[in-house]
Amino acid sequence: MGVAHDDTGVAVALSEGQSLRAEYLVGCDGGRSLVRKAAGLDFVGLDPSTSWMIAEVEMDEPDLGMRREGGGIGPVNRAEGGGPFRVVLTEGHSAHTSEPTLEDLSEALISAYGTDFGVRSPTWISRFTDMSRQAASYRHGRVLLAGDAPHVHPPQGGQGLNTGVQDAVNLGWKLAQVVNKTSPESLLDTYHAERHPVAARVLRNTMAQVALSSPDDRHQALRDTMSELLSMDERRKRFAAMLSGLDIHDDLGEGHPLLGRRMPDLDLVTANGPLRVVTLLHAARPVLLTLGEPGGVVTEDALVFERTSRSPMRAAFSCGNEYLDRYIRTQARQDQEKRAVGVYVLRHTPTDRIAGYYTLTASSIETQDLPEDVARSLPRYEVQGAILIGYLARDFQFRGAGIGEMLLRDALQRGLEMQQSGLRAVAVVVDAIDDAAATFYESYGLKPLTRNPMRLFMALETVAILPRSGE
């Protein structure tokens, strides 16, 4: 197999003679990675000093438990006990040229226990060493490495798979962004920057664990000392967080203490009930959480409509549109006082924040702008009285809580009340600020005016027969 890469892609020559070309090549081909070797990436570290045999076999009443030098014998089914048994034994030397056999295992058992416990019927027999090596770079141009390909280490602590899967997750989304041209190629450099230090730490702690398992008395003293240290809460938690990979901290600069860290599995309270953060991660998709103030859950009971709120939080209103933000922050109170415009605010009482607002003003529409079937039933004037929803906006923090719908329903009902108390109007009209807003209004039954599709209306006759909220 050969690998050649240039500015536009990677060419891979397969052993069967075919060749492939791709924009990028990721070597996930294990500790003996051919891709790593073909790309010429240095694999720096220590050669093996010892080797272990590992097997699943049937035996007659073996001595169960760990051995001082590491390894031992245990039932595969820990709950029920009995065979088959998992055996792990040090071999004392690391130079092997062939695959391990049942005979090798029998010899190793006799040398450790004085008997092979009638070992037979192996499901599998394998071997691993304490070789500790890491690729000096996880990337060479368009060739990248993930999983065991960029790092091998002793299996103590069961950290290899976890580290490799996290490599793949870190690289996967970045590669997708770069291939889709959503992000610059330099994003791929953050892969090495973030993941190399993580595996370097795994190499260090697994090498230390191998050293600790040396069977002599001095190392026993060291093991006892470590056990004493790890009986202290803070130290034990620190090591557990390291071995489980939960303490990983990507350096993303200054900011919130959680920046670049694993999201803790918080209990969240949402409008749809309580849930835990991990349940949002099952789909393995990015998740954006917009957290409100503690206790600030958006339920309808916590929302009240009022005329121009005096809430000091008015200045914090933010819907993503500067024009709409500026209106409620600086202009609305004045308009309300002049009685030119009715400003209605939906206040979230636990946080005193403004969840949304709308305005109503007396206005008019030309009859010819209405569809014929509507115009036919109206008085024969060229211009009809109408009530205009001048502004309607929902704060960013309250996305997904149905605030837009609440505002619109309230505005329509209030328009109807204004007509019933004497205002000459045949419809409520609204100016959509963009296509998304127009689609939103249409989804609630408003119809575009014939000559201006960004101005939509609903006849007050229709409003009168709309179901009230909660009906």
Question: What is the contact surface with ligand FAD in residues (CB under 6 A)?
Answer: 28-30, 34, 54, 128, 147-148, 155, 158-162, 164
When the beta carbons of 128 and 173 are compared against ligand FAD, the nearer one is 128
Q: How far apart are the C-alpha atoms of 325 and 406, rounded to whole Å? A: 19
Return the half-sphere exposure (C-beta side, CA atoms, 13 A cut-off) of residue 55: 22
When the beta carbons of 102 and 433 are compared against ligand FAD, the nearer one is 102
Least distance to ligand FAD from the beta carbon of 227, Å?
22
Helix axes 233-243, 217-230, angle to 10 degrees: 100
Least distance to ligand FAD from the beta carbon of 48, Å?
12
Determine if the peptide bond prior to 84 is cis (ω within 30°).
Answer: yes
Which helix (H) or strand (E) is 106 found in, with range? Answer: helix 102-113
When the beta carbons of 18 and 186 are compared against ligand FAD, the nearer one is 18
Which helix (H) or strand (E) is 462 found in, with range? Answer: helix 460-464
Q: Is 110 helix (H, G, I), strand (E, B) or coil?
A: helix
Strand-pair partners of 392: 358
When the beta carbons of 194 and 395 are compared against ligand FAD, the nearer one is 194
When the beta carbons of 158 and 470 are compared against ligand FAD, the nearer one is 158
By beta-carbon distance, which residue lies closest to ligand FAD?
147
Least distance to ligand FAD from the beta carbon of 203, Å?
12
Give the single-character DSSP code of 249: B
When the beta carbons of 128 and 444 are compared against ligand FAD, the nearer one is 128
Q: How far apart are the C-alpha atoms of 374 and 49, rounded to whole Å? A: 89
Residue with token string 């599709």: 453
Which helix (H) or strand (E) is 104 found in, with range? Answer: helix 102-113
Least distance to ligand FAD from the beta carbon of 467, Å?
56
Least distance to ligand FAD from the beta carbon of 34, Å?
4
Least distance to ligand FAD from the beta carbon of 406, Å?
49
Least distance to ligand FAD from the beta carbon of 70, Å?
12
Own/partner pairs, 412-418, CB within 8 angstroms, 24+ separation: 412/458, 412/463, 412/466, 413/463, 413/466, 413/468, 414/342, 414/344, 414/360, 415/360, 415/387, 415/389, 415/460, 415/463, 416/460, 416/463, 416/464, 418/360, 418/387
What's the longest Cα–Cα distance across the chain? 110
Least distance to ligand FAD from the beta carbon of 147, Å?
2
Q: Which of 144, 227, 162 is nearest to 201 (CA)?
A: 162
When the beta carbons of 34 and 222 are compared against ligand FAD, the nearer one is 34
When the beta carbons of 213 and 351 are compared against ligand FAD, the nearer one is 213
